[in-house]
A and B are shown apart, each in its own frame.
Chain A
Amino acid sequence: NAGVMQNPRHLVRRRGQEARLRCSPMKGHSHVYWYRQLPEEGLKFMVYLQKENIIDESGMPKERFSAEFPKEGPSILRIQQVVRGDSAAYFCASSPSRGRETQYFGPGTRLLVL
């Protein structure tokens, strides 16, 4: 059973470009969470999604960031018009149901904005 998969593992963008991060949850998991880890900071919750629904986006910046989890395919975190402050590791986690379950994390995507 493959674990949570994220791609790309490393992404370099210039300021103003768009970044698209993909996450495929573990088989049988329908809940996806995105976290951001800034250098020297802890993991910060961004958004929680179920298939075709955003359940909690309280940690998402108000502008430039969006997330989706379509009926088919991976979950996508999109960052438009990236700035240097967006440079961080972005982790995706999945669980079979809402909360009260272990969250299984992917290896992360390291975004570097030049």
Chain B
Amino acid sequence: SQKIEQNSEALNIQEGKTATLTCNYTNYSPAYLQWYRQDPGRGPVFLLLIRENEKEKRKERLKVTFDTTLKQSLFHITASQPADSATYLCALDMGYGGSQGNLIFGKGTKLSVKP
């Protein structure tokens, strides 16, 4: 079965630096890969979606890459701010058959941005 690993449980960086989070998966490449943000006591909030035929996607200070050869996605936050501190979740949508919409989530990486 498909498995997802996010490289670290926690990542601490200094304000202004670029945060880079890693998501690795096994088996088949998903049709879509999504990144969500989750704050304590709240539900996940969608950030970015990248398709299997896309290499890179950007949104303001966020950038996502998708390498189907390495079976890896990288999530970057540039010019990080303390308000970016949260847990970031990687999720796969296999996009076919009965699993459409059934998102498979990683455990998340807790990012802390220090002022």
Q: Which residues of A contact B (CB under 8 A)?
A: 4, 31, 33, 35, 40-45, 48, 55-56, 58-59, 91, 93, 95, 98-108
Contact = CB atoms under 8 A, between A and B. Distances in A.
6 contacts: A35-B103, A43-B103, A55-B101, A101-B101, A105-B36, A105-B44
Interface residues on B, range: 20 to 34
Interface stretch (B57-65, B78-86, B91-99): B91-99
B46 A42 contact: no
A80 B89 CA distance: 30
Nearest to A31: B101
Nearest to B94: A99
A46 to B, nearest CB: 10
A103 B102 contact: no
Most buried by A among B36, B43, B100, B102: B43
B31 interface: yes
A14 B90 CA distance: 34
A24 B74 CA distance: 33
Contacts of B95: 99-100
B93 A91 contact: no
A102 B43 contact: no
A43 B89 contact: yes
Interface in B32-53: 32, 34, 36, 41-46, 49
A45 B43 contact: no
Nearest to A33: B101
A106 B43 contact: yes
Nearest to A9: B41
B102 A48 contact: yes
